[in-house]
Amino acid sequence: MGFDYKKDFDNIDFRKHPEKYEVGRGEQGLLMVEPYKGEILPHWRFKTPEIARESSEKIYGMFLEYKKQEDFVGMDMARKYLQMGYTRARRYANYKGGKKYDKDGNINERQINEEKAESAAIFEEKWIKAREDKTYLAWKKEHKEKYG
Q: How far apart are CA 29 and CA 95, in angstroms?
A: 25
Closest CA to 16 of 87, 71, 90, 86: 71
Q: Which domain holds residue 84?
A: 44-100+109-148
For each of the chain's 148 residues, which pLDDT tens digit applies? Answer: 456 766 778 889 999 999 999 998 888 888 999 999 999 999 999 999 999 999 999 999 999 999 999 999 999 999 999 999 999 999 999 998 888 999 999 998 898 999 999 999 999 999 999 999 999 999 999 999 998 7
In DSSP terms, which residues pair with 107 in a beta bridge? 101
Q: What is the pLDDT at residue 5? A: 66
Report the number of distinct structural domains present in the chain: 1
31 within some domain: no
> If DSSP codes are grouped into helix, strand and coil, which group holds residue 66?
helix
